[in-house]
Amino acid sequence: MKILVMHQVPYRKIGYHLAIDHEAHDIAYFGTAASIAEIPQQLRCRRVVLDGPDGLAEQIIARTSREDGWEQVLALSEFGILEAAAVREHLGLPGPGRADLELIRDKVAMKQALVEAGVRHPRFAATPPASGPLPWSGRTVVKPRLGASSDGVTVHATAEDAVAHYRALPDPQAYQLEEYIDGELLHADGLVAVGQVMDLVVSRYVGKPVDFAAGAPIATGQLPADPRHVAFTEHVVQALRIEAGCIHLEFFETAAGELVFLEVANRLGGGGIVTAHLRRTGVHLAHHEIAIRLGLPRPDRLAPSGHYHGFAIFPGHRLDPSRPWRTDVPQRLSDHPALDRLHLLEDPAITSDGESGRTTYQEWQVPAFVEASHPDPVELARFLDDCTRSIRVTQPEPVPSPGGPPS
């Protein structure tokens, strides 16, 4: 099989060589110089370096043709989904069209489809009314229609404040407004094959991604299986016509027990989700997604741990990269039986995604990252909550040099 890989997700997160036999298939990776440099040197493949991350589809189209004999296009990044459709069309390959893919990329089209399907979701507006208020008055969220990782998301005390913020944006048409939902935020991660959800694991956040973007730590811990969560996920997948690949669905559970959609992505979840899911289920999400998308046999499952898994992330994008920081971890957390691994980063130069400038959740790019597990999901949640409250990443003020100005 001749496979074109749009290589955007860090190679260490995917491990393509563990999912595809590079001796049996002809594989070409298209990506930036930094992403191509991640590919193991000994791997049998073609490497095509593009001129930066912008205009991905156009660059690939300029370097390929139908006569090349491509049989598959593989794109595992949220930021390559729409571009992959254009590449497939250029190469004459089957796959979901742009209209279907916009349901899982454009947050307005996404929620409009859920209106028709009867899935509970926040009230929203693509643009505020030309005159008169929004149809709600309380806390309101302004977010990019095609965004991810909570980049550019703002929360406002009133709908009126949100509208004022929206109208002051340089490109307001790229944003939408929605009512703020009070409740616990959960995420569901699993696989879809021929429209069927499988290997689903649901986790609960400690904090929210929008808090992380603002500089606060967040955590997430797995929950016992709940048929309500599975049914809700299946309803969303059906409404948005998701046919294959990974899903990362975020939704609220209110105090009254109501499940309310937030957003969904047809890709791997970030942070430590791949590792936590693998340890809980024995399924490596990326390897199984590749098999599903390429029509290959799914890999064998590994032995599950029997524990519930989670992680905590401490952001570095609000730190000054020119100054050192200190991470303080209380001894009770270092000695806790739920702690599996503590990653501490010492190099300030790599606390953000240098290529895209976006907030990063990668454990090797943040000051501190905790991996945890416990046979009791309640104890796991308590430990992760304690981590977010008690671990401190600080940048002490520099000490004035002798003879310097008085403090």
Domain for residue 70, yes or no? yes
Domain for residue 101, yes or no? no
Domain for residue 341, yes or no? yes
Q: Which residue is listed with tokens 């104890």?
A: 379
Q: What are 128-141's pLDDT values in tens digits?
A: 998 888 999 899 99
Q: Are residues 285 and 386 in the same domain?
A: yes
Which 3-state string (H, E, C) describes the chain? Answer: CEEEEECCCCHHHHCHHHCCCCCCCEEEEEECHHHHHCCCCCCCCEEEECCCCCCHHHHHHHCCCHHHCCCEEEECCHHHHHHHHHHHHHHCCCCCCHHHHHCCCCHHHHHHHHHHHCCCCCCEECCCCCCCCCCCCCCEEEEECCCCCCCCCEEECCHHHHHHHHHHCCCHHHEEEEECCCCEEEEEEEEEECCEEEEEEEEEEECCHHHHHCCCCEEEEECCCCHHHHHHHHHHHHHCCCCEEEEEEEEEECCCCCEEEEEEECCCCCCCHHHHHHHHHCCCHHHHHHHHHHCCCCCCCCCCCCCEEEEEEECCCCCCCCCCCEEECCHHHHCCCCEEEEEECCCHHHCCCCCCCCCCCCHHHCCEEEEEEECCHHHHHHHHHHHHHHCEEECCCCCCCCCCCCC
Number of domains in the chain: 3
Q: Are residues 196 and 174 in the same domain?
A: no
User: Residue 350 above 80 pLDDT?
Assistant: no
Q: Are residues 325 and 350 in the same domain?
A: yes
Among 179, 197, 226, the domain-final residue is 179
Q: Are residues 68 and 199 in the same domain?
A: no
CB 253 within 8 A of CB 259: yes
Give the pLDDT score at 387. Answer: 97
CA neighbor of 219 nearest in space, from 338, 310, 151: 310
Provide the domain limits for residue 40.
Answer: 2-95
The CA–CA distances, whole Å, from 41 to 44, 52, 304, 387 equal 8, 21, 32, 38
Q: Are residues 294 and 174 in the same domain?
A: no
Q: What are 224-259's pLDDT values in tens digits?
A: 999 999 999 999 999 999 999 999 999 999 999 999
Percent of the chain with pLDDT over 70: 94
Which CATH number do you get for residue 252?
3.30.470.20
Q: What are 94-110's pLDDT values in tens digits?
A: 988 888 888 898 999 99
Confidence label for 364 from pLDDT (cuts 50, 70 and 90) = confident
Q: Are residues 258 and 385 in the same domain?
A: yes
Give the pLDDT score at 403. Answer: 58
Give the pLDDT score at 78. Answer: 86
Q: Are residues 238 and 358 in the same domain?
A: yes
Among 139, 157, 179, the domain-final residue is 179
- Tally of CA atoms within 13 A in the half-sphere of 332 that contains its CB: 8
Q: Are residues 39 and 167 in the same domain?
A: no
Q: What is d(CA 219, CA 238) in angstroms, rounded to the nearest whole number?
A: 29
Q: Are residues 247 and 371 in the same domain?
A: yes
Domain for residue 138, yes or no? yes
Task: State pTM to two decimals.
Answer: 0.91
Give the pLDDT score at 186. Answer: 98
Confidence label for 210 from pLDDT (cuts 50, 70 and 90) = confident
Which CATH number do you get for residue 37?
3.40.50.20
Domain for residue 66, yes or no? yes
Q: What are 155-192's pLDDT values in tens digits?
A: 999 999 999 999 999 999 999 999 999 999 999 999 99
Q: What is d(CA 42, CA 30) in angstroms, rounded to the nearest whole number?
A: 17
Which CATH number do you get for residue 141?
3.30.1490
Q: What is d(CA 112, CA 11) in angstroms, rounded to the nearest whole number?
A: 35
Q: Are residues 163 and 200 in the same domain?
A: no
Q: Are residues 128 and 230 in the same domain?
A: no
Give the pLDDT score at 355. Answer: 38
Q: Are residues 15 and 155 in the same domain?
A: no
Domain for residue 111, yes or no? no
Domain for residue 301, yes or no? yes
Higher pLDDT, 154 or 323: 154
Among 179, 203, 224, the domain-final residue is 179
Give the pLDDT score at 353. Answer: 43
Domain for residue 372, yes or no? yes
